Structure 1
């Protein structure tokens, strides 16, 4: 509970919180997939915290790296200890703006989200094509992006290099509901 409170306060410090039109997702889903000739690597994280301001079109996402679940415990260990170094870099973040977002539009809209993704304390600008659906009490946002491991200084031992993809496919799905602290 203390970790969730600390995490929520950290997201607030990103600066998108306003008094109204706030939406939150505490159990967002992020999946990553890496194809290799030896074995595909896939993991899912269902503990992603994200905030959306429909008034300013801003979105913030906080991902705890140790919350990814792998099919094999050895993959989890290698991911956290050797590649991401989760003890040094426990989280990844994204902060961005949804371009031309119409908060009142019923149905589905496809939009570009421009922002900055930080992984291993390296921040890079990214653009994400996302699908946004207005629901009865919030929004559902989903999409996919590709991340190059070299952009975030993820070191792969030369002997394993042929077995690790250079490009990681990341998918996400967030179901936002009104933030309960709204007045």
Structure 2
């Protein structure tokens, strides 16, 4: 049976997990039990950092399919005013509430243990814009669990995220995104 990850991203999470669990019996499919996506922006006046630990992600080790889905409003900032500006002025979270990735991981061998260099290629959707990306990372296999880590840059203009002119020179035009997902078998 083939799992359609695109379908999973379009249906409610609870129904999606039920569908995925039924399809996954006896196969090497994983669910992120401790997901984290964070970003860092080196600002002239103040650095900007936030983390989202309410990410849903699945990984099929047999065919390399991987997907994640998150609510943009779930990013947490130390400075609550910064969080408000992020959601209202930059990400327009009411209009574009979710971000997602759907693609394939290459270079992973489910039969090997230890840390493996991998690459994910697929479609990243942020702020209503979908772009093809290519991200290097690692997957560590330990005791039947997987730990995926990756770091990449996102240019704001690529996703039509507009920085107001008044703060243009104070905010970096790209952010460093870090993925840290701990997966368990389904």
What TM-score comes out, normalization by structure 2 length?
Answer: 0.87
Matched, 1:7 2:13: yes
Give the direction of change, closer, same or farther, for the CA distance of 1:26–1:62 in structure 2 (3 Å limit): farther
- Following superposition, the deviation at residue 154 of structure 1 comes to 0.4
How far apart in 1 are the matches of 2:86 and 2:16? 24
| Deviations 1:27-49, CA, capped at 9 Å, x for gaps | 40011000011000000111111
Residue 138 of structure 1 corresponds to: 145
Residue 170 of structure 1 corresponds to: 177
Equivalences, count: 173
Residue 6 of structure 2 corresponds to: none
| Deviations 1:37-91, CA, capped at 9 Å, x for gaps | 1000000111111000011111101121111110101110001011111111111
How far apart in 1 are the matches of 2:97 and 2:126? 9
Indicate conservation of the 8 Å contact 1:107/1:133, yes or no: yes
Residue 89 of structure 1 corresponds to: 96
**Aligned 1:137-156 pairs, distance under 5 A:** 137-156=144-163
Q: RMSD of the TM alignment (CA)?
A: 1.9
Give the direction of change, closer, same or farther, for the CA distance of 1:78–1:47 in structure 2 (3 Å limit): same
Residue 59 of structure 2 corresponds to: 52
Residue 35 of structure 1 corresponds to: 42
Indicate conservation of the 8 Å contact 2:107/2:116, yes or no: no
Residue 129 of structure 1 corresponds to: 136
Task: Specify every segment of 5 or more residues in structure 1 that has no aligned partner in the other structure, as ranges.
Answer: none
- Following superposition, the deviation at residue 100 of structure 1 comes to 2.5
Task: Specify every segment of 5 or more residues in structure 2 that has no aligned partner in the other structure, as ranges.
Answer: 1-10
